[in-house]
Chains A and B, each alone.
Chain A
């Protein structure tokens, strides 16, 4: 078996993996990128629309343009990478052999082994397939996830169908509605089970309203018609408990159904390595992006699903730095992480990253990221410890599709070594409650 040795192995060459690798190489450490696809760039390559890079580059780029900038930098820095190479196993180090071991496969070399002092997980996320949302009917052809369709249309050059219904109003679904319309297809409707659009307002306006594509909220697909090829779908209204309301069925003819019903971090490798996963399906990490396994770090969509690639890049740069710190200060030494504060999701908070904070880092600035469960206006973001509220911040508007980011120095807001747990909640502002009383 061919064996490679490096300082840091990066799994995945999307926005996250590329930015992390660049950060590591810049300080002079060795890095090797492993990517299962045929080229570098990840999901951004198929997102040909604009809307990337406003934060990172202060201009509005398309997905491929955004990726190209990092690919150019990878080439300039001569960072080694292996394409068409899928990592199949990750093993933690031990006190005798502190390096981590990866196994990967590719056509030329068969199974290869990589030994690395640190590993960065950057495998991205996966779309929820139909199995994850039960719709009765046969299994005819003509059902795709929105991201699959995006790849077919934008990279392979073929259209999956002529007339479409899109289930789910996530950004990818809405962007595909416009894309397909531009390609001469008919998008009959975007059907959303929730009472509100789950993607960005900008996409609702510029991708649906601009082209008079009906958006049907509080409805879902309840039946798929057709045996070999899909012939249409029945949609029905749902009540508050998402139960079908009798007498509201409508038939819509279509030859293709696209599912845009959410993304889940891709964590089989992480789980098999023995790292703990949290409620959002991403690994549990501390404030140094380190999973529960020493020297294995995570960033990008594998950690939490992002809506903005710029935040992926920022998160990955941090993870790259933490991996460097680990190699320089902790690798091969018996320095266990002890004394951690748990961060938990309170009212109207879906999950919080990081999951853990090292008490030794209380004086550092920590980037908290989280999402709400439902939209709300005029809210307060509150951090609480065992004794009560320690930090408050007002915000006008929150929505599940927009990740909230907050930079905080915990020592400055009064957290000390006694603290075991902080809770983050998003609640209506008290003055609003009073107004309404």
Chain B
């Protein structure tokens, strides 16, 4: 197949190691996707995941009532789809919980049906 029949649809910079390879995602005339420019298998896996189904761990804070601090840091226990981050943030922002809280406590179960729980990142005691 000639070079000209392939077009670069996206360039993904691999962040798996500091080398930072630029991985090109190409499509040929029949719509087949290929990846080029990765120096190792981990890079290819990363680029495929990023291209087809990018996911992130979400870390934010939640309002706390009666706590030693007004906020508690929280996270998703597994990565969720990048597109869902915005909606997840909204749901977390309107939720309020009451101290005491233990690190690892599930504060929202299966957020947005993503399969991920929102868990507390630390212990937070009641205000004295």
A residues with CB within 8 A of B: 39, 45, 48-50, 60, 62-65, 67-68, 71, 153-157, 182, 200-202, 205-206, 209-210, 396-397, 399, 402
Determine if B70 and A156 form an interchain contact, defined as CB atoms under 8 angstroms apart. Answer: yes
The A interface, classified by DSSP as helix, strand, loop or mixed, is helix
Q: Which residue of A lies closest to B39 (CB)?
A: A396
Closest to B57 in A: A50
Residue from the set A49, A62, A396 with the largest chain B CB neighbour count within 10 Å? A62
Q: Separation in Å of the B119 CB from the closest CB of chain A?
A: 9
**A201 — which chain B residues lie within 8 A by C-beta?**
13, 15, 18, 20
Q: How far is the CA of A155 from the CA of B70 in the complex (A)?
A: 7
Closest 5 CB pairs of A and B: A48-B73, A64-B122, A64-B121, A157-B70, A202-B15
Given A68-B103, A201-B18, A397-B19, A157-B61 contact (CB < 8 Å): yes
Contacts of A402 in B (CB 8 A): 18
Q: Contact between B18 and A399 (Cβ–Cβ < 8 Å)?
A: yes
CA distance A206 to B55 in the complex (A): 11
CB atoms of B82 and A210 under 8 A apart: yes
A60 and B73 form a contact (CB under 8 A) = no
A397–B19 CA distance with the chains assembled, in angstroms: 6
Q: Is the CB of B121 within 8 A of A48?
A: yes
User: Would you call B60 an interface residue if the criterion is a C-beta within 8 Å of the partner chain's C-beta atoms?
Assistant: yes
Which single residue of chain A is at the shortest CB-CB distance from B16?
Answer: A202
Residues of B43-75 contacting chain A, CB below 8 A: 56-57, 59-61, 63, 68-71, 73, 75
Quick one: CB contact mask for B1-34 with A, threshold 8 Å, 1 for yes?
A: 0000000000001010011100000000000000
A64 to B72, CA, bound (A): 10
Task: State in angstroms the CA–CA spacing of A157 and B63 once bound together.
Answer: 8
Task: Tell me if A205 and B73 are in contact (CB < 8 A).
Answer: no
B18–A397 CB distance below 8 A? yes
**CB <8 Å contact, A65 and B121:** yes
Check B123 for interface membership: any CB of A closer than 8 A.
yes
Name the distance in Å between A423's Cβ and chain B's nearest Cβ.
25
A357-B81 Cα distance, complex, nearest whole Å: 50
**B interface residues, Cβ below 8 angstroms from A:** 13, 15, 18-20, 56-57, 59-61, 63, 68-71, 73, 75, 82, 85, 89, 103, 121-123
Q: Which of B15, B69, B75 contacts A155 (CB 8 A)?
A: B69
Q: CA of A62 to CA of B85 in the docked complex: distance in angstroms?
A: 17
Minimum distance in angstroms from B90 CB to a CB of chain A: 10
Which residues of chain A come closer than 8 Å to B85, judged between CB atoms?
182
Contacts of A182 on B, CB cut-off 8 Å? 60, 85, 89
The answer to whether B122 touches A157, judged by C-beta atoms less than 8 angstroms apart, is: no
In the assembled complex, which residues on chain B have CB atoms less than 8 Å from the CB atom of A209?
13
Q: Check B57–A60 contact: CB distance below 8 A.
A: yes
Contacts of B103 in A (CB 8 A): 64-65, 68
Q: Are A157 and B71 in contact (CB under 8 A)?
A: yes
Q: Given A62-B75, A201-B18, are A50 and B122 neighbors across the interface (CB < 8 Å)?
A: no
- Given contacts A64-B121, A157-B71, are A48 and B57 in contact (CB under 8 A)? no
A210 to B71, CA, bound (A): 26
Chain A, residue nearest B74 (CB): A48
> What is the bound-complex CA distance between A49 and B85, given in angstroms?
14
Give Cα A210 to B75, complex, Å. 19
- Please name 10 further chain A to chain B contacts, defined as beta carbons within 8 Å, in addition to the given A64-B121, A65-B121, sorted by A numbering: A48-B75, A67-B122, A68-B121, A68-B123, A156-B69, A156-B70, A157-B70, A201-B18, A206-B15, A209-B13
Chain A residue at smallest Cβ distance from B86:
A182
Residue of A nearest to B20 (CB): A201
Could you give 18 example pairs across A and B, Cβ below 8 Å? A39-B68, A48-B121, A62-B59, A64-B103, A64-B122, A65-B122, A68-B103, A68-B122, A154-B61, A156-B71, A182-B60, A200-B18, A201-B18, A201-B20, A202-B15, A397-B19, A397-B20, A399-B18
> By the criterion CB–CB under 8 Å, are A154 and B122 in contact?
no
Residues in A whose Cβ lies below 8 Å from that of B18: 200-201, 397, 399, 402
Distance of A414 from chain B, by nearest CB (Å): 31
CB-based nearest B residue for A50: B57
Most buried by B among A50, A63, A399: A50
Complex Cα gap A210–B60 (Å): 17
B71 and A155 contact, CB distance less than 8 A: yes
User: Which single residue of chain B is at the shortest CB-CB distance from A397?
Assistant: B18
A404 to B27, CA, bound (A): 39
Q: How far is the CA of A65 from the CA of B68 in the complex (A)?
A: 17
Chain A residues near B59 (CB, 8 Å)?
A: 48-50, 62
In the docked arrangement, what's the CA distance between A346 and B98, Å?
A: 56
Closest B residue by C-beta to A203: B15
Closest CB in chain A relative to B7 CB, distance in Å: 21
CA distance A201 to B75 in the complex (A): 22
Identity of the chain B residue whose Cβ is nearest the Cβ of A45 in the assembled complex? B122
Point out the residues of chain A lying under 8 angstroms from B19, CB to CB.
396-397
Tell me the minimal C-beta distance from B5 to chain A in angstroms: 29
Q: Could you say which residues of chain B place their CB within 8 Å of the CB of A48?
A: 59-61, 73, 75, 121
Q: Is the CB of A50 within 8 A of B61?
A: no
CB-based nearest B residue for A156: B70
Q: Which residues of A contact B122 (CB under 8 A)?
A: 45, 64-65, 67-68
* Complex CA–CA separation, A154 to B103 (angstroms): 16
